[in-house]
Amino acid sequence: MPLAGKRILLVMSGGIAAYKSLDLIRRLRERGAEVRPVMTAGAQQFVTPLAVGALSAGHVYTDLFSREDEQDVGHIRLARDCDLVVVAPATADLMAKMANGLADDLASTVLLASDRPVLLAPAMNPKMWAHPATRRNVATLRGDGLAFIGPNAGEMAEGGEAGLGRMAEPLEIVAAVEGLLDGGARPLAGRKAVVTSGPTHEPIDPVRYIANRSSGRQGHAIAAALARLGAEVTLVSGPVTLGDPPGVTVVKVERAEEMLQAVLAALPADIAVMVAAVADWRVATPNTEKIKKQPGEGPPPLMLAENPDILKTVGHHAKRPKVVVGFAAETQDVESNGRVKLQKKGADLIVANDVSPETGIMGGTRNSVKLITAGGVEQWPDLSKDDVAGRLAGWIAERLT
């Protein structure tokens, strides 16, 4: 239990992301931490103190002027009697108060009175996060030595909006908590990771190729999530229309053989996450000129050759990373095929999903995955691909810390 005996003061402010804090409490406690929640009036509009108290198994603090809680100057005791303060969600309003030293409720007063490390998990609309006032406040808080996790990019609760502003996933926050309590804000700092993403294009002739519908969104999101936790990430990407993730070294390739060579060049590494939808076959001898239709003749035969198995190569390599994760995109028997792949490829984890056309997963923005390990299967709910990435990065960090 990596957080056994640690006391976490969890400050919850008002935002729809407060529902994630319920899972965060559970994740912290199952790792041995004691969680004391402080809720603003806004937070209580989204989740109830009753639910928070049930999960934390303790008192929930809500009122600066509580006669019971303040008889021994309770806000000072809360501020000091902990190992770490986590603010999740951290709204633009609460961060503005913190940056300017305001203390007009229990949460802001505790934060001003605390001399403990503070980790903030911002959550707000992308326009609010990008606003110059918020940027100034974030810069001030960073300058004051406060640590941040997130925000992540993705869809907002308000329909039709997307961008940077989603609260980090609970497992990401847990990983950051463990890193801070170990003396560093980023639990994957000093670790090297290689991630593959997107499809491969296997040429038939100069204008045609064999490919698939992979967009690269999931792989790119995972590379970004690992980088946020401090990893030095090399992203080997097939042809995609996405921008390069921030803080990531990107190697762009087209063919499976090129992807394999780029992955091997990135070893040794601590982490390998093989997300790319690599074509299983290639044309043995691509035409050097465009193949022309001939009147009265059918299509020319294509002689196919098997492409290298990148995941299997990495899983059994002499420089095998400590954590090897593979993806299994299936259209039937998802779990059983994932179990077979786990065994054959030498992976620690297979992330399996159903990519049948009706799911909209391949090429889409959401994913529904099963985590398959030697110890069992864990089903995750339907999530955005950014949320899957955040959870997976936290899962990986746990196994390396």
pTM tops 0.75: no
Q: Binning pLDDT at 50, 70 and 90, where does residue 73 land?
A: very low
How many other C-beta atoms can be found within 10 angstroms of the C-beta atom of residue 180?
A: 20
d(CA 239, CA 207): 15
Q: Is 210 annotated as a binding residue?
A: no
pLDDT (average), residues 330-340: 93
Q: How far is CA 274 from the centre of its chain?
A: 15
Whether the per-residue pLDDT at 149 is higher than 50: the answer is yes
Q: Which amino acid is at 66?
A: S
Q: Binning pLDDT at 50, 70 and 90, where does residue 382 land?
A: confident
- Is residue 60 within 8 Å of residue 39, measured between CB atoms? yes
Whether the per-residue pLDDT at 127 is higher than 70: the answer is yes
Name the residue with higher pLDDT: 64 or 57: 57
Q: Can you read off the two tokens belonging to residue 12?
A: 């919850």
Whether the per-residue pLDDT at 361 is higher than 90: the answer is no
Whether the per-residue pLDDT at 72 is higher than 60: the answer is no
Q: Is 345 annotated as a binding residue?
A: yes
Residue 145 host element (H or E): none
Q: Binning pLDDT at 50, 70 and 90, where does residue 378 land?
A: very high
- Is residue 364 within 8 Å of residue 200, measured between CB atoms? no
pLDDT (average), residues 298-322: 95
Q: Can you read off the two tokens belonging to residue 185?
A: 């804000």
Q: Which amino acid is at 400?
A: L
Q: What is the pLDDT of residue 183?
A: 58
- Could you tell me which residues come within 8 angstroms of residue 160 by beta carbon, excluding any fewer than 6 positions away? none
Q: How far is CA 11 from the centre of its chain?
A: 22
Q: Is 267 annotated as a binding residue?
A: no
Q: What is the pLDDT of residue 95?
A: 96
Exposed/middle/buried for residue 226 (C-beta within 10 Å: 0-12, 13-18, 19+): buried
Per-residue CA distances from 368 to 330, 331, 354, 356, 358 (Å): 12, 13, 8, 12, 13
Q: Is 20 in a helix, a strand, or coil?
A: helix
Q: Is 341 annotated as a binding residue?
A: yes
Residue 79 host element (H or E): helix 74-80
Active site residues: 212
Q: What is the sign, positive or negative, of the torsion defined by CA atoms of 383, 387, 388, 391?
A: negative
Domains of the chain: 7-181 (3.40.50.1950), 192-400 (3.40.50.10300)
Using only the alpha carbons of the chain, give its radius of gyration: 24
Task: Give me the chain's average pLDDT, please.
Answer: 91
Residue 350 host element (H or E): strand 349-354
Q: Is 23 annotated as a binding residue?
A: no
Whether the per-residue pLDDT at 67 is higher than 70: the answer is no
- Is residue 203 within 8 Å of residue 187, measured between CB atoms? no
Q: Binning pLDDT at 50, 70 and 90, where does residue 158 land?
A: low
ω into 122 cis (within 30 of 0):
no
Neighbour-count burial for 69-88, b at 16+ CB within 10 Å, e otherwise: bbeeebbeebbeebbbbbbb
Q: Can you read off the two tokens belonging to residue 88?
A: 């999740």
Q: Is 115 annotated as a binding residue?
A: no
Q: Is 126 annotated as a binding residue?
A: no
- Could you tell me which residues come within 8 angstroms of residue 226 by beta carbon, excluding any fewer than 6 positions away? 188, 193, 195, 233, 271, 273, 393, 396
